[in-house]
A and B are shown apart, each in its own frame.
Chain A
Amino acid sequence: MIQDMDERHAEYLRERHDYAAWERETAAESELLVGRFALRVEDLPGWNMIRLDQVPVEGARLALQSLWGSAEQEGVLLRIDIIEMPDVAAARTMLLHLLGEFQSPEIARQTDARIGQVAFESPDRTTVLFVRSNVVAMIRNAGPEVIAVDEPARQLDDIVKGQSGTK
């Protein structure tokens, strides 16, 4: 369950993140949808899944919160959240909602479309959140040793692409 976003907060976020520029998907973007996203332990080479919880998110088909440990670097943990929405428009709305859970004013839109169809990141890429099709993904550091997360984010984006099918 999620609470409806406070309208004042929503208005602030829409303006701050120029929601009008990415709220609507293109025709091509709306063609492919993911149904019943699956995240398996072998999906991220170099990472071991430590924890996986399915959580209740109102309006979502599926929402997963997971914790992964680096197989090579002690103290490096990744937090990966995946939310599968019923359609692309709902996924864009959910992305805005997730942006409302960041206190930092420095989370900004990626301008070079490296990951997903719309993506936001922290200045040093230690946090990435993106939307592709009807799936929203968020990749963050969770351990005391901090890394840039764009490579695992790219791997995750490839997984989402691989699970997309024509609606």
Chain B
Amino acid sequence: MIVLEALAFNHDPTAANHDAINIRRSATQPVPLPEWRRGFSTRPEDSPAAYSTNDVAGNTITIKASFHIDPKLEVVEIRAIDPSRDDRCCGPCPNVLGEVKAKRVKVVPGHHGKTPWETFELLNTRLVECGVGIHVVTWQWQYRLGPDRPWQSFATTHHRIYSLVGIPRKPWVQQPFDPANMSLPWTDVLDFACWWASGARSQVEAARMVTAAVFDLGPSVITYDCPGGGSTHYAWPVFNCSAFLDRLRGGPGLGYYVNCSDCATITSTFANVLGTDLWQSRMGYGFDLNELLGIGSNVWQTACGWGAFSYHEVAWEDDCTAADDVYDACLKVDGDVDPVTAPHSPLLPVDLRFGLTGELTYRDRLASPPGRPTCNPQPATRTRRAVT
């Protein structure tokens, strides 16, 4: 009598305040639209969609649906409910897209029961209160033939919904919305970024959580490149994100080692897909170090025992100057009142101002007193490496 044919979450590629944003799966795979199609979409991951919580906040989110309805019927009322309807189910954020508000759908004569795209409003969405995350949304679709008639179920659909703080920033873009555009946000990256920053409700919180998660990849997944002289493995000439994803999934990727440029790029790229606004930028050149904990290491030392860095690179906010905050996933500094001498209190530099000498912020904790005069922000190096 009635068949659900397709659902579209991203039904307006030019906007994101009432619908899902533009995404793709990976460097090589787009997300076909509409996201859910009868006969093709059976698992939640077959039907992915992502929302910017900043943009949908306070707005009514809509989806579009098309059906095949028995031509003998003139009008049916259609809705979708959360089949669990149990707030105790599925953790603190069940069904972030709530339910599909009931709507009367007219059968248009002469189309053999096929309906055009119908717009439906969502009720009781919880994207904003749940913050960043990956959620499975299940809807049970129902129809009734009149207000006095009982609701009848006719389909159940499952969707993988990513909630972000904001619209992804570079290197991720929203236009052109075109299968050839490799810089549309990848769900392969969202699978990690949303997990790492789960529950974050602000850009700063998301950036903090991503930075911590990247540092915590050491030593099991990656470690600092002491054997290679602290050289760039994933982030030159562009960010080989496909290889890094392979590494995250247990494959060889481009190897076990990373340096600061890699960490800065991974951090800012995986944070910016959530809507943060970080850059990769350098400091230098040629400066002595305090003792540090490099990613993957539990030994306090001056970077592999070298004593100095030729340069260092971090994820950095705004103009990447001494007045701006850094997010350094490559190392921990000494966070106590005397970062120059032991004992050391490990501090991951997140949302920490680079600062001037003597202010005991990031610069003073990274560089030793003789090194501080040549550990200067180099904002001309500010970049956001493209992804492949």
Contacts and interface: CB of A to CB of B under 8 A. Distances in A.
B238 A56 contact: yes
A143 interface: yes
Contacts of B67: none
Interface in B240-256: 240, 243, 252-256
Interface string A58-89: 10000101010100000001010000000000
Interface string B250-276: 001111110111000000000000000
A140 B381 contact: no
Contacts of B310: 12-13, 16, 100, 102-105
B285 A146 contact: no
B311 A9 contact: yes
Contacts of B254: 51, 65, 67, 79, 142
Nearest to B219: A144
A124 B304 CA distance: 13
A141 B304 CA distance: 15
Interface size class of A (residues with CB under 8 A): 35 or more
A9 B229 CA distance: 17
A27 B386 CA distance: 38
A7 B285 CA distance: 11
A159 interface: no
Contact of B229 (A13, A58, A122, A146): A122
Interface string B271-309: 000000000001011100000000000000001101111
Contacts of B383: 3
Contacts of A124: 227
Contact of B227 (A51, A53, A63, A141): A141
Contact of B381 (A6, A51, A106, A144): A6
Given A79-B233, A104-B306, A105-B310, A9 B284 contact: yes
B154 interface: no
A126 B227 CA distance: 6
A9 to B, nearest CB: 6
B237 A6 contact: no
Interface size class of B (residues with CB under 8 A): 35 or more
Given A77-B256, A103-B260, A140 B228 contact: yes
Contacts of A58: 237
Interface string A11-23: 0110010000000
A53 B243 contact: yes
Given A6-B378, A16-B286, A56-B237, A106 B229 contact: yes
Interface in B186-242: 225, 227-233, 236-238, 240
B229 A107 contact: yes
B135 interface: no
A78 to B, nearest CB: 9
B237 A77 contact: no
A138 B240 CA distance: 17
A2 B227 contact: no
A38 interface: no
A135 to B, nearest CB: 16
B146 to A, nearest CB: 61
B380 interface: yes
B388 interface: yes
A127 interface: yes
Nearest to A99: B310
Contact of B257 (A16, A106, A142): A142
For A53, A69, A103, A124, the residue with the greatest tally of chain B CB atoms inside 10 Å of its CB is: A103
A101 interface: yes
B312 interface: yes
A12 B229 contact: no
A127 B231 contact: yes
Given A101-B236, A103-B259, A126 B228 contact: yes
A141 B257 contact: yes
Contacts of B386: 1
Given A12-B285, A53-B240, A79-B254, A146 B378 contact: no
Given A1-B238, A8-B285, A104 B229 contact: yes
Given A12-B286, A57-B237, 8 more contacts: A3-B383, A6-B282, A65-B254, A102-B231, A103-B230, A105-B308, A140-B231, A141-B255
28 contacts: A8-B284, A12-B310, A13-B310, A16-B286, A50-B252, A51-B243, A51-B254, A53-B243, A53-B388, A55-B238, A79-B254, A101-B231, A102-B228, A102-B231, A103-B229, A104-B304, A105-B309, A122-B227, A122-B229, A127-B228, A140-B225, A140-B227, A140-B233, A140-B255, A141-B255, A141-B257, A142-B257, A144-B256
